[in-house]
Amino acid sequence: CDRLSGIGLKFRAWRLFLEQHPNVVGRAVLRQHAYVPKTHSVTLAYKLASELTQIAEAINEQFGCEVIHFESGPLSAVDRMALLRVADVLLDTSVKSGLNLVPFEYYVARAALPPTSPTNLRGAVICSEFSGCSRVLIGSLSVNPWNTDKLVVAIQDAKHMLGTPELAERLYRDTAYVSSHSLLSWAEDFLCDLRRARKKAEMMYITYGFGANFRLMGLSEDFQRLDHDEILAAYKRAKFRVLFLDNEGTLCSTSYISRNAYGSPRASPAEFPSSSSEGELSNLHMHGSPPSEKVLQMLRSACLAYTSPYVALSGLSAEIL
């Protein structure tokens, strides 16, 4: 029970959802259980629990029935898994959580059930984008808990998905991921990343860019920068020239998106096929567009004005270009 869990934001969004959908009042209850983490002050935790209790009572009084069932205190693992198994929707509104295990426990609680069972057909996950698990649970609905309107829309979307094959597919996809990745495999993946990220003794490193564009580039020890004056002089002396232009990042902008075995940016499965089980960044996909008509016109003019041929290098197929 701490302020980073975003329970207050959850209560606010739930009240707005009920105000916009009065037909749900009396048919749905937000079940919230808060416990005191060992790393937090007990006094502050109980103070926050008292504030949340008052908010829940005020909302219940507003709607004339219990629409929020709030409890605080210890909860056994058996009771927690039982609640997760019968919950229609799991709502995570944490504002800062590096490793939130509750969404994973939600899938584990349903792992023994077939994907088309009635229980799985009524199991949606709404995950805060500030939670570390939101990057790997691609079947969940990702929301910003500070945006109350978007959170209400996510609750409404989850309500409409209940009982649909789409929801069963989402749940089955993430359940398969959680079931196949143990704590040991996660640790091995992280160690592999650390090993790949370490600096090599035979390489030299330079930095460039600023802020979000800051980059660290590794170069071989015998690397030498090209002298601009020498290049210009050689260009003028040459009778025949070939100009190579990189399409992605030069002629047109391109975003690079990577996916590995333990995590990926949120996207549809069609965009990101599964990667290798060793945790390597083996699937590096480029999603770009061909050069604009203005750039193509400039290339045509340059080809007509000079005898030097121009070659565009690209990792995209000829059909896209």
CB 54 within 8 A of CB 94: no
Query: Does residue 122 share a domain with residue 11?
Result: yes
Rounded distance between C-alpha atoms, residue 181 and residue 187, angstroms: 10
CB 286 within 8 A of CB 247: no
Tens digit of each residue's pLDDT (9 = 90 or more) over 7-36: 888 999 999 999 999 998 888 899 988 876
- The amino acid occupying position 85 is R
Same-domain check for residues 246 and 128? no
Residue 134, domain extent? 3-182
DSSP 3-state of 301: helix
pLDDT confidence tier of residue 1, bands split at 50, 70 and 90: low
* Interval 186-232: pLDDT, tens: 788 778 888 877 777 778 888 878 777 788 888 887 888 788 888 88
Rounded mean pLDDT, 294-303? 81
- Mind listing the pLDDT tens digit for each residue in 260-283? 333 433 334 443 333 333 333 333
pLDDT at 43: 75
pTM over 0.85: no
Sheet containing strand 141-143, edge to edge, reads: 89-91, 124-128, 141-143
Q: State whether the Cα torsion 248-251-254-256 is positive or negative.
A: positive
Distance separating alpha carbons of residues 265 and 259, to the nearest angstrom: 7
| Average pLDDT of the segment spanning 114-140 | 75
> Which pLDDT belongs to residue 281?
35
Domain match, 176 and 299 both: no
Number of structural domains the chain divides into: 2
Say if residue 160 is in the same domain as residue 29.
Answer: yes
pLDDT at residue 321 in the model: 63
Q: In sequence order, which residues have a C-beta less than 8 Å from that of residue 51 and are 6 or more positions away?
A: 8
Q: How far is CA 66 from the centre of its chain?
A: 34
Do 120 and 242 have their domain in common? no
**Six token digits for residue 92:** 């995570």
CA distance 125 to 170: 9
Q: Among positive and negative, which fits the CA dihedral 77, 80, 82, 84?
A: negative
Say how far apart CA 202 and CA 220 lie, in whole Å. Answer: 7
Q: Is residue 92 within 8 Å of 21, Cβ to Cβ? A: no
pLDDT given for residue 286 in this prediction:
42
Q: Do the Cβ atoms of 279 and 189 come closer than 8 Å?
A: yes
Which of 182, 199, 215 represents a domain boundary (last residue)?
182
Closest CA to 68 of 37, 91, 45: 91
Cross-strand partners of 220: 203
Do 47 and 144 reside in the same domain of the chain?
Answer: yes
Question: How confident is the model at residue 16, as a pLDDT?
Answer: 92
Residues 307 and 235 in one domain: yes
With beta carbons less than 8 A apart as the criterion, state whether 100 and 11 touch. no
Q: Which residues contact 321 (CB under 8 A, 6 or more apart)?
A: 247, 290, 291, 312, 314
What's 153's DSSP letter? H
For residue 320, the model assigns a pLDDT of 65
pLDDT tens track for 83-125: 888 888 889 888 887 677 888 888 888 776 655 555 555 678 8
Same domain, 104 and 246: no
